[in-house]
């Protein structure tokens, strides 16, 4: 039976991550300021998250230097990163790339060594894939240039698919050209792989591992979207309690109550969907693909709706650059197409349950 409740360990992890991000990644000042400067990453925040909290190695077994935890704990970290829209290569490196390497197995010394480095926060890795790549979609193989690669500007190692297998390329073996991104807190870049690299799997095993990494990423991205939606709802409720019109809080007006009540119901449902996906991945459920498709099809829409309501119900200040609401709207919209659109996940869901289109 699926357990959607947070364990004591998960609650403690949340408290540690939230404390760190509250102190060092305030969205209204620190995150916004760094994003606007063109250098969104704070190396100190990532080091603290990866090493002091130990978040980078949650999916890595203890024998390889990780925490030996599960996707449920990683989902909690992503919830908190979503709540603060913190620029960090957690989804791309500590989840997707790490899952790809774990799927390959630890028989290869290069894979084992890289997993240890990722778990310790010494290095970060990304798969040379567009952020929009889906687990059941086409993958770039031997592509001269891969565009829209998230967190590539921060990565030390690149996982590249070629016709004869999966390769690990060092930063010096690729050319990274930053691109303009809607979400300033998750930079994109065009990656041009060189001809060097270390082969760690044949084509079939490499592609299967990459698809597993993308499936895991999509499932845990739902938790990040949940975090975005939760912050937007809480901030909107707080603002409408404090903002007065006609000598009464605007949140007391019935029409606004209805909108926020509807949003609360959506967020609660999104939490159930995201938690179910994380649990299915953690337990190796045979229905993991189905649960992930449900979570992504639903949570991406809720995050966008919550961010839109946050902007609108803040009135004039919600439209300004100074208020962080725009960061959440941009993250929600970017996440809406990340690792597969809601439409693609709905199609995948229909195929999994044998529901034929009319």
> Nearest Cα to 133, choosing from 151, 146, 144?
146
What pLDDT is attached to residue 168? Answer: 96
What pLDDT is attached to residue 328? Answer: 93
User: CA triplet 125, 126, 127: central angle to 5 degrees?
Assistant: 135
- Report the number of secondary-structure helices (H) and strands (E) in the chain: 11, 9
Domains of the chain, by residue range, sit at 207-352
What pLDDT is attached to residue 357? Answer: 58
Give me the average pLDDT of each 10-residue run along the chain (358 residues): 88 96 85 79 92 95 93 97 95 97 87 94 96 94 95 96 95 95 93 94 95 97 98 90 73 78 95 97 95 96 95 77 86 96 92 76
Rounded to whole angstroms, how far apart are CA atoms 171 and 160?
12
What pLDDT is attached to residue 31? Answer: 78
User: CA triplet 243, 249, 252: central angle to 5 degrees?
Assistant: 135
Do residues 309 and 263 touch, judged by C-beta distance below 8 A?
yes
Helix, strand, or coil here: 330? helix
Largest CA distance in the chain: 70
Helix, strand, or coil here: 159? strand
Helix, strand, or coil here: 123? coil
What percentage of the chain's residues is helix, strand, coil (to nearest 5)? 60, 10, 30
Residue 182 CB neighbour total at 10 angstroms: 12
Do residues 77 and 17 touch, judged by C-beta distance below 8 A?
yes
What pLDDT is attached to residue 251? Answer: 61
CATH, domain 207-352, list 1.10.10.10, 2.60.40.10, 1.20.140.10, 3.40.50.300: 1.20.140.10
What pLDDT is attached to residue 308? Answer: 94
Query: Structure pTM?
Result: 0.94
Do residues 118 and 98 touch, judged by C-beta distance below 8 A?
yes
């Amino acid at each position: 039976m699926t357990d959607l409740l947070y364990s004591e360990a998960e609650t403690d992890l949340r408290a540690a991550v939230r404390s760190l991000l509250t102190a060092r990644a305030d969205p209204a000042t620190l995150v916004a300021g760094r994003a606007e400067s063109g250098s969104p990453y704070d190396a100190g925040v990532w080091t603290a998250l990866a090493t002091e909290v130990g978040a980078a190695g949650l999916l890595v077994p203890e024998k390889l230097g990780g925490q030996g935890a599960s996707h449920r704990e990683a989902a909690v970290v992503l919830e908190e990163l979503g709540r603060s829209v913190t620029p960090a290569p957690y989804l791309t490196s500590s989840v997707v790339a790490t899952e790809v390497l774990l799927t390959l197995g630890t028989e290869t010394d290069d894979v084992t060594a890289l997993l240890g480095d990722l778990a310790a926060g010494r290095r970060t890795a990304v798969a040379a894939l567009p952020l929009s790549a889906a687990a059941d979609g086409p993958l770039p193989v031997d592509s001269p240039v891969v565009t829209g690669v998230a967190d590539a500007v921060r990565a030390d190692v690149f996982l590249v698919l070629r016709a004869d297998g999966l390769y690990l390329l060092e930063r010096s073996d690729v050319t990274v050209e930053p691109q303009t991104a809607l979400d300033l807190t998750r930079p994109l870049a065009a990656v041009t792989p060189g001809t060097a690299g270390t082969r760690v799997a044949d084509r079939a095993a490499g592609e299967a591992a990459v698809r597993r990494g993308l499936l895991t990423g999509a499932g845990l991205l739902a938790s990040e979207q949940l975090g975005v939606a939760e912050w937007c709802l809480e901030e909107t409720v707080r603002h409408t309690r404090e903002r007065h019109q006609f000598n009464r809080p605007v949140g007391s007006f019935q029409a606004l109550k209805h909108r926020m009540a509807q949003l609360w119901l959506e967020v609660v449902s999104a939490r159930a969907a995201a938690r179910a996906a994380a649990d299915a991945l953690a337990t190796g459920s045979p229905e993991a693909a189905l649960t992930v498709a449900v979570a992504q099809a639903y949570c991406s829409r809720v995050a966008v709706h919550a961010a839109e309501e946050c902007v609108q119900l803040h009135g004039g200040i919600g439209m300004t650059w100074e208020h962080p609401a725009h960061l959440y709207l941009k993250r929600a919209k970017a996440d809406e197409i990340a690792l597969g659109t809601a439409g693609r996940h709905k199609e995948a869901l229909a195929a999994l349950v044998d529901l034929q289109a009319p």
